[in-house]
A and B are shown apart, each in its own frame.
Chain A
């Protein structure tokens, strides 16, 4: 008996639900719930983690991210302007920098700054400076490319209008082109902030002191203490507390940009 199109859709959909229900039942029967809960979400441990996981770890994650982002943004803008310069050596320097730092792992940069520089130059950088540079140097390379694309996306007529009003090249860039470029690159820059939030976990390599722990380090430390995955899950959820709203913001900004066109 041939099925109509609607009947066939219903059968396919029905069997998909049936499969799902079956899997859920099997997992529910097989799993050792007590143990899983102890491993992943031990309420006692969660209570123990607070408030330090917020006041120290989350705060430090945000602080490190902002340090890296701030440095990366300024350096990225500078690199973008160098990349667009009419003086060839500036362009070469910018291109070399961008290609280098986009091409090597961020981990390597952390090792170089955290261990390489102190050993080779026999001087210890301030911890916060190390964090800012490690996160910012790589971030700057990505942000430079984003900002450069943003500057180039501003129509040439904007510069021409500014120049025809007597503005110098620099003034036209500062007052007219860069503000418009930043509106264009706000969504990708926010994405960069999300990536940096996650990359800030690499700071854990640097062997910081207790008060300087960020989420990953804090979770790792608590993991050793409690022999439970709970701290890692809590740390993960706290990353989401930062990254999910930012991701939502990116989509709203993108929608706004799309509407403005």
Chain B
């Protein structure tokens, strides 16, 4: 395991400040080119929010980072491991990358606690007692200690999403990917989930977050990336990208997200963030 660190997915020298490095990333589904050359990096401990209209390729970008989608070309390096290398053991890489989905994707046949222990036991080979100890600690972290015996169907959307975050945390990930974690939630449940994410950010977790929550992006993100049509249109500190966008496309998008009523008539062809489909 120690002979070839790049391929076994072990952490490189602790000094490496880069968590994610994406270079020349292209992704096409058949004839549909979704990502048209993406370059960006996320440093350790950094919180980067990705914003952009529906269909701009945000989810696809996120899913290329942990190889749920196979990039057509380009390289993705996660914590020193090139995940696009065909020889890489992808299962080893993925266990270091936490992923939180829009539709939670909790395992409905398992209790909250079992949702947190199954991969610890089956993948990390932790024994049951240790897995449960870590699981309980993470349920406490998201404020759901009293729900360990509940099945997902017995939990509210916000609670399910917090369990999903705790599930990812139980694998001790080096970084976390969030794909619109609050988009499927009733408005009054959004706050609890964002609070958990905020505390994670405060603890120094590296986070790549696709979101439409502009206040979260402004207050928590170190950097905001605006995507449209499969390319990064602009990126920078939230004050600049959200506060004073340089590009017309960014301005149009923000105007619509921040005040949906002001959406211009000419833009209705684009479904916009409120027209989202929720994959369940």
Identify the A interface with B (CB < 8 A). Answer: 155, 157-158, 160-168, 171, 175-176, 179-180, 183, 260
Contacts and interface: CB of A to CB of B under 8 A. Distances in A.
Which of B92, B98, B123 has the most chain A CB atoms closer than 10 A to its own CB? B123
Contacts of B164: 161
A176 B66 contact: no
Interface of B: 66, 68, 91-92, 94-99, 101, 103, 105-109, 118-119, 122-124, 153, 164, 167-168, 171, 279-280
B123 A164 contact: no
A161 B107 contact: yes
Contact of B109 (A160, A166, A171, A180): A180
B152 to A, nearest CB: 11
Contacts of A171: 122-123
Nearest to B164: A161
A165 B101 contact: no
Contacts of A167: 91, 119, 122-123
A166 B97 CA distance: 9
B109 A179 contact: yes
A-B pairs, 10 with minimum CB distance = A166-B95, A165-B119, A161-B105, A164-B99, A157-B105, A166-B123, A166-B94, A166-B91, A179-B109, A168-B91
10 contacts: A157-B103, A161-B101, A164-B66, A165-B167, A165-B168, A165-B171, A166-B91, A167-B123, A180-B108, A260-B153
Contacts of A163: 68, 91, 94
A174 B97 CA distance: 22
A179 B122 CA distance: 15
Nearest to B115: A161
B118 A175 contact: yes
Contacts of A157: 101, 103, 105, 279-280
A258 to B, nearest CB: 13
Contacts of B124: 166
A152 to B, nearest CB: 16
A175 B122 contact: yes
